[in-house]
């Protein structure tokens, strides 16, 4: 079911026009009386990004026939929250490349990055209040809290070669899948879906988000810096035990295992070529992609609760593309 090559044309997107409106709204809502905030937020937003989370809000709203302005506001809100987490994450990870350009922390410094992240995050909450729906506030307050927990859990797991696959999956459900889940759920909330349908939409988001992060972790080993717009090998440099490394350790010789353990404990990026060879030989990359495919297939199954429509087709198409993406 998830076999369509990524090179096939995307399903005609029923929310392209709405996404353009969201981009306009994002620019409008970024406005601040403080020049440095305008400068840094424009810098990061103008660098693009795939806008996958706003797309989820819009596609789910569309699938339920909801076309009110609130969908645009919520789409912009989830992109602001996402961008705030990227600004904070790049400081935590000391990353210097994102969306094909210097990260905000590399260009403007850590303090400015964290503080502009705070601005975007709190602006998102001002916009939520303007939507004036307690349920929306509840979904996003819960989601942002879980994302922060995920990031702290990940911090605690750094340099731990004994991390279990289960603990790794917990982190990615919290730090990444939760915002996908909230985005999908918000579309269903706007569309006044019944509780069971809303839960299926949320499940779709959680599974797609899990698949998305698995591929993200895979691309950190097999991707191309130019296509990704960020450096490959960063996870190893930070000593982050992700699924490709955990599986490679399980399947390698004692000598290779000791090398990977040391790299996780000490964050040894200079061993990347040797470790990549083990990761490749043990089939850890294929297995990570299979895990991503399984999650995407679960998402696909959840999308089938929606009535047939172009929005549903586009949501199914996203499941295929998330597994085969290269950026
Ligand atoms: C401010 C609520 C809040 C929390 C701070 C730092 C942090 C806690 C959380 C970081 C969470 C994080 C960055 C998870 C990774 C998510 C991810 C896969 C990012 C890349 O998303 P893409 O590929 O990025 O959609 P683009 O650039 O396309 O928008």
Cα 16 to ligand 1 centroid, rounded to whole Å: 23
CA gap 305, 55 in Å, rounded: 19
Domains and CATH numbers, the chain: 16-323 (1.10.600.10)
| Residue range 221-245: mean pLDDT, rounded | 90
- Alpha-carbon Rg for the chain, nearest whole angstrom, is 20
**Would you call 147 exposed, middle or buried from its count of C-beta atoms within 10 A (0-12, 13-18, 19+)?**
buried
* DSSP string across 101-139: EE-HHHHH-HHHHHHHHHHHHHHHHHHHHHHT-HHHHHH
- Verdict on whether the full-model pTM lies above 0.85: yes
| Residue range 140-150: mean pLDDT, rounded | 98
pLDDT in tens, 46-100: 898 999 999 999 999 999 999 999 999 999 999 999 999 999 999 999 999 999 9
pLDDT for 11 equals 60
Best residue for ligand 1 mutational test, from 82, 158, 218, 326 (most atoms within 8 Å of Cβ): 82
Instruction: Specify the range with the lowest mean pLDDT, choosing from 46-60, 180-194, 215-229.
Output: 215-229
| Residue range 120-137: mean pLDDT, rounded | 97
89 ligand 1 Cβ < 6 A: yes
Cα 110 to ligand 1 centroid, rounded to whole Å: 17
Ligand 1 atom with the smallest distance to the CA of 212 is 18
Residue 5 pLDDT > 60: no
H or E element: which one contains 97? strand 97-98
pLDDT for 8 equals 56
Give 9's pLDDT tier (boundaries 50, 70, 90).
low
Ligand 1 atom with the smallest distance to the CA of 117 is 1
């Amino acid at each position: 079911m998830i076999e369509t090559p990524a090179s096939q044309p995307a399903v005609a997107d029923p929310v392209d026009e709405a996404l353009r409106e969201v981009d306009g709204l994002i620019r409008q809502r970024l406005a601040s009386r403080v020049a440095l905030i305008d400068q840094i937020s424009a810098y990061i937003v103008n660098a693009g990004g795939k806008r996958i989370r706003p797309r989820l809000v819009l596609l789910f709203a569309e699938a339920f026939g909801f076309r009110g302005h609130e969908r645009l506001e919520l789409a912009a809100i989830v992109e602001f929250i996402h961008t705030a987490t990227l600004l904070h994450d790049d400081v935590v990870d000391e990353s210097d490349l994102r969306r094909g350009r210097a990260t905000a922390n590399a260009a403007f410094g850590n303090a400015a990055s964290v503080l502009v992240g705070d601005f975007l995050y709190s602006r998102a909450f001002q916009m939520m209040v303007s939507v004036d729906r307690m349920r929306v506030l509840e979904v996003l307050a819960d989601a942002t809290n879980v994302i922060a927990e995920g990031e702290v859990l990940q911090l605690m797991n750094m340099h731990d070669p004994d991390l279990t696959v289960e603990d790794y999956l917990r982190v990615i459900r919290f730090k990444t899948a939760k915002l996908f889940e909230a985005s999908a759920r918000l579309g269903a909330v706007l569309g006044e879906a019944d509780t069971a349908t809303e839960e299926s939409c949320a499940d779709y988001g959680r599974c797609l988000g899990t698949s998305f992060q698995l591929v993200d972790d895979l691309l950190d080993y097999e991707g191309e810096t130019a296509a990704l717009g960020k450096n490959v090998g960063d996870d190893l440099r930070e000593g982050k035990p992700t699924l490709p490394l955990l599986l490679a350790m399980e399947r390698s010789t004692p000598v290779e295992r000791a090398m990977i353990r040391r790299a996780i404990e000490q964050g040894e990026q200079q061993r990347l070529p040797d470790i990549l060879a083990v990761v490749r030989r043990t089939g850890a990359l294929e297995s990570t992609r299979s895990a991503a495919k399984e999650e995407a297939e679960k998402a696909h199954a959840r999308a089938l609760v929606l009535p047939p429509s172009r929005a549903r087709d586009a949501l199914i198409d996203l499941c295929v593309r998330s597994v085969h993406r290269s950026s």
